[in-house]
Amino acid sequence: MPYSGPKVPYDLIKEATIAFLVVAILTTLLAIIFSSPDESAVTIKQWANSDPVDFVTTALSELDGSSLSSQYGPPYNSGTNSQQHVGPFAPQKWAGQRIPVNSAQDFVLSPLSQEASSIPLLSQSLTKWNSASSADQGNWTANYSDALAKATVDGSKLLVPSGKYGPVGEMMSELLLMANSGALDASLTGTSHFYGTDYTKPLLFLADGTYLSGLAQNKHLLGTQWGMMNETGNWPGQAWLWLYTFWYQIPPYNTSTNADALVMTTMLIVSAGLLLVPVIPGLRRIPEYIPVHRIIWRDWYKRNRSK
């Protein structure tokens, strides 16, 4: 049936031009007023120079296999500490080990091996470590861990009391030197590809320590601070993420060890419900029961009340 209602002239080009200019001006002004600071990337060099004790403590946990990443589980290794599921729904486990990470080898031993060719003492230390029994390795790392509580910092250098650490002392000293110079960053991001954009290993290493989480807390970026939708500092962030981060703030999500899996499952259900609104009895009749559209289009309904 042809449209028989009122008609008015409409200049589409003029309307689009005005709309574009208004949006462009508002976007520019809001970006100037509310934009977030351009924080530089956190590096292992920055970490090692700012907090050498935390760096060496974390490196030691990578070496002895007690760090979070070394026991994480899929997709990095066969650990089980961070496997999440909701009943039989366990996508993390199903995906398997797709990005192999051996914390001791990748974060400590392999980078040191690259330096050992030019440092005879380090080469001897690595040989001694690799040929030692698990019991000896455990004793060395345990003794060194205890000594770290008494360590002192001189600038970016770490001074650890002498003790029965086997080759661990030399290994940790050289690893700290690598980190201080930035060589460890280069080693962990090294790739045979043209573009080196895979920061998985340095990020896992950083996350195992307390330095990165401390920076996040200072910038109000932790999960308990609605960090998923924050930018650094007191600035607005990705507001569209509020629905995801909201769940982490309420029970049972905020106390569950399977929070990520629970949130994922919840969002799948919510999204499915939204997609299926037209076919779900009751939901599809909400506009009929709550006729908000009649308020929005009230002029049309006034003109067509008798129709």
pLDDT score of 114 more than 90: yes
At 147, the pLDDT band (50, 70, 90 cuts) reads very high
pLDDT score of 307 more than 80: no
At 280, the pLDDT band (50, 70, 90 cuts) reads confident
Please state, in angstroms and rounded to a whole number, the distance separating the CA atoms of residues 76 and 63.
16
Q: Show the tokens assigned to 201.
A: 């290993």
Report the pLDDT value the prediction gives residue 1, as an integer from 0 to 100: 67
Place of tokens 């590096």: 43
Domains in the chain: boundaries: 44-214
Q: Show the tokens assigned to 200.
A: 């998985």
Please state, in angstroms and rounded to a whole number, the distance separating the CA atoms of residues 125 and 199.
28
Report the pLDDT value the prediction gives residue 167, as an integer from 0 to 100: 97
Report the pLDDT value the prediction gives residue 235, as an integer from 0 to 100: 66
53 torsion bin: left (phi>0), alpha (psi -120 to 50), beta (else): alpha
The answer for residues whose C-beta is within 8 angstroms of residue 132's C-beta and 6 or more apart is: 140, 166
Please state, in angstroms and rounded to a whole number, the distance separating the CA atoms of residues 297 and 265.
37
Q: At 141, which helix (H) or strand (E)? A: helix 134-148
Distances 88 to 76, 92, 261, 265 between C-alpha atoms, Å: 21, 11, 11, 12
pLDDT score of 117 more than 70: yes
Q: How far is CA 123 from the centre of its chain?
A: 35
The answer for residues whose C-beta is within 8 angstroms of residue 174's C-beta and 6 or more apart is: 112, 115, 119, 122, 125
At 226, the pLDDT band (50, 70, 90 cuts) reads low
- Taking a C-beta distance cutoff of 8 angstroms, is the pair 209, 55 a contact? yes
- Residues of the chain above pLDDT 90, percent: 56
Please state, in angstroms and rounded to a whole number, the distance separating the CA atoms of residues 54 and 145.
11
Q: What number is the average pLDDT over the span 135-143? A: 97
If we measure between CA atoms, which residue out of 151, 186, 156 comes closest to residue 60? 151
Please give the angle made by the CA atoms of 64, 66 and 69, to the nearest 5 degrees.
Answer: 110
**Which range is least confidently modeled, 3-12, 97-106, 257-266, 275-284?**
3-12
Per residue in 67-106, pLDDT (tens digit) is 999 999 999 998 888 888 888 888 888 888 899 999 999 9
Q: Show the tokens assigned to 281.
A: 């009895």
Report the pLDDT value the prediction gives residue 132, as an integer from 0 to 100: 96
- Taking a C-beta distance cutoff of 8 angstroms, is the pair 53, 148 a contact? yes
pLDDT score of 165 more than 70: yes
Please state, in angstroms and rounded to a whole number, the distance separating the CA atoms of residues 213 and 202.
14
Q: Show the tokens assigned to 45.
A: 């060099």
Per residue in 169-198, pLDDT (tens digit) is 999 999 999 999 999 999 998 766 667 778
pLDDT score of 10 more than 60: yes
Whole-number average pLDDT of the chain: 89
